């Protein structure tokens, strides 16, 4: 990666934050890996959660515990697209697909995008749990 690409694509903390015991440093990611991590952070951050930047984040938490309908899926995808357009200037979104199964309480969100500087296509799959506690065993 050239210095121009590195400066535009950036370097940031890995997500979740990890620390290297040998160097006593935070593990950093650069380039397209940083974009991938940034998308996860954006989707996991609720609006108003960041004190100094309350408009940062995505509205996906507002979709928890609602019935999954075609309208619900469309609104979820629209919220995600708007958050990415507002907060991730390094990429252009090509597609956002959401798929669900009837019993597991998870919507798999597949975001296809192209990195503006390198024209590299990539995607990220984000599991959105719309029902809390679905992985808890039924018997103790």
CATH of the domain at 118: 3.10.450.40
pTM of the predicted model, to two decimals?
A: 0.77
Provide the number of structural domains found in the chain. 1
pLDDT, position 7: 58
54, part of any domain: yes
Give the pLDDT band of residue 4 (cuts 50, 70, 90). low
Q: State the angle between helix axes of 32-44 and 70-87 in degrees (0 to 180), rounded to the nearest 10.
A: 130
118, part of any domain: yes
Give the pLDDT band of residue 127 (cuts 50, 70, 90). confident
What residues are paired with 20 via a beta bridge? 25
| Whole-number Å distance between alpha carbons of 94 and 91 | 9
């Amino acid at each position: 990666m050239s210095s121009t690409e590195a400066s535009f694509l950036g370097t940031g903390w890995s997500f979740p934050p990890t620390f290297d015991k040998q160097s006593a440093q935070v593990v950093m990611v650069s380039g397209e890996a940083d974009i991938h991590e940034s998308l996860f952070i954006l989707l996991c951050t609720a609006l108003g959660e960041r004190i100094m930047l309350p408009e940062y984040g995505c509205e996906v938490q507002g979709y928890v515990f609602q019935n999954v309908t075609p309208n619900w899926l469309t609104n979820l995808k629209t919220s995600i697209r708007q958050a990415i357009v507002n907060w991730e200037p390094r990429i252009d979104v090509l597609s956002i697909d959401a798929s669900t199964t009837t019993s597991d309480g998870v919507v798999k969100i597949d975001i296809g995008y192209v990195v503006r500087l390198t024209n590299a296509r990539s995607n990220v799959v984000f599991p959105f749990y719309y029902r809390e506690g679905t992985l808890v065993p039924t018997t103790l």
